[in-house]
Each structure stands twice: as C-alpha cells, then as structure tokens.
Structure 1
Amino acid sequence: MPQYLALTYTADVDWWAPEQAAELAEYRRFAVDHAGSLRASAVLHPTATATVVRVEGARGGRVVTTDGPYAETKEALTGYYLIEAADLDEAVAVAAEIPAAWGGAVEVRPVIVAK
C-alpha cells in the first residue's frame, strides 16, 4: 500500500510546555484514532535547536554549518506522520484530521519506495 509523508507546520513552540497540554492531547487523540494507518510519527524540537548543513562546491567540499532555522517564518516544520493509505485522497482525508491542519498547515507527499 502506498505511503505518504505528512509534514506538520505550526507555531514554533515547546510542545512539552504546560501551556501546550490541551493541543498536545489533540495530537494524541489523532494518533489513537488513526493508529491503523500511521507507520511513524515524531515531534521535532523547536527550530532554535536546528543545524543547517551545506557542502561548498561538490561532494567532499568544505562542510559549513549554521545554527538555528534555515529561514524565519511564522510557521515552522514541527513534526511528521508517515501515513499508509490506498491513494492520495485517503491520505489527504487523514491529514485533514491532524490538528496542525486546523491552525497551521500539513504538507502531504507520496513516498518513493526503492525497488
């Protein structure tokens, strides 16, 4: 069955902070309700913990790292779900239930399976 990666874009917050408890409960409810189609998921630490890696020139070039997010935005990549669904329409229906879709955005992409 095809798989789709649902990338969540929301406010860049500490999901473990007490003020996020109610919203985090919605994500937990989503995970329980869709356990049959979810193959993996994770919450990401805030973008301030990110490290951007670039290689100058080509492979083997000088490795350059930058602290923090790649770009400043209102919404940040904050997590993902790997959804198994019959087709894109079914994956979109599941993604519409992710709380990030209600106040942020969810990007759904088909996963290429190596042969």
Structure 2
Amino acid sequence: MKYMLLIYSNPESWAGLSHDQRMGLGRGHGALNDSLIASGHHVASAGLADPINTKTVRIRDGVVATTDGPYIESKEHLAGFYVVECANMDEAVAICAQIPDAAYNFCEVRPLGEIPALSD
C-alpha cells in the first residue's frame, strides 16, 4: 500500500535553527531518500516552495477565483512530502519517524486512497 508522509514546518521554528541544523536537515533528507530508494520503499518525494508562492483556487458559480497563500490560517504549513510503498501503517510510521523534520515540528502519515474505476 502507498502512504504519503507529509512534512510540516513553520517560520518560527525554521528561523530558530542554526545554519548547521538547517544543513543537517538537508543531509538527513538526502540520506533518507537514498535509503528509501535502496530499500524499494521510495515512490516520490519533494520539498515544497515557500507558502508565500502558494495560490488557493476556488470555483464559485463557474467563476475561478484565486487568493494568495494557503487556504488554512495556521502557523504550520506543508513543507514537503514522501510517497512510500509499505506493507502496513506500522512500517509507514517507522519510516516517517526517520524524517529529520519530525524532531523540530511534526509529520503526518496518510494512506493513499485507491481511485475506483469509473464505468457507465
């Protein structure tokens, strides 16, 4: 089964990190990514750009409206993700616990849903 491991951050915790801690996070992600590829768990991974570059899109009465920034008003923002193939939730949680950011903020494990085949 595939799981999405969501990585959350916030500007205050990021600002509180030293240069060495930030570099350590980057090295930690590189090592985790390499390990997931080697073990066959890796499906996809990426960091996300700063939330200031986000657009929220809504369609109301056929009209597309966009606003700057993420929809939710919160200190935390989605900073990146991994998609992994695991035998079960316990295995996905064990991998998620290896994400360096979990030591500073939090990460979330979500099973990916199957899209049912559409038929007439």
Provide the TM-score with structure 1 as the length reference.
0.83
Question: 1:40 corresponds to which residue?
Answer: 44
Question: 2:75 corresponds to which residue?
Answer: 74
Provide the TM-score with structure 2 as the length reference.
0.79
- What is the alpha-carbon distance in structure 1 between the residues aligned to residue 51 and residue 88 of structure 2? 31
Cα shift at 1:74? 2.6
CA RMSD of aligned residues (A): 1.8
Question: 1:94 corresponds to which residue?
Answer: 95
Instruction: Could you tell me which runs of 5 or more consecutive residues in structure 2 were left unpaired when the two chains were aligned.
Output: none
Question: 1:3 corresponds to which residue?
Answer: 2
Residue in structure 1 matching 2:56, options 52, 58, 61: 52
- What is the alpha-carbon distance in structure 2 between the residues aligned to residue 66 and residue 30 of structure 1? 35
The one-letter amino acid paired with 1:56 is R
What is the total number of aligned residue pairs between the two structures?
Answer: 107
Does 1:104 find its partner at 2:108? Answer: no
Cα shift at 1:11? 2.8
Runs of 4+ in 1 over 4 A off after TM superposition: none
Structure in which a larger fraction of residues adopt helix: 2
Instruction: Could you tell me which runs of 5 or more consecutive residues in structure 1 were left unpaired when the two chains were aligned.
Output: 14-18
Cα shift at 1:53? 0.3
Does 1:29 find its partner at 2:28? Answer: no
Question: 1:84 corresponds to which residue?
Answer: 85
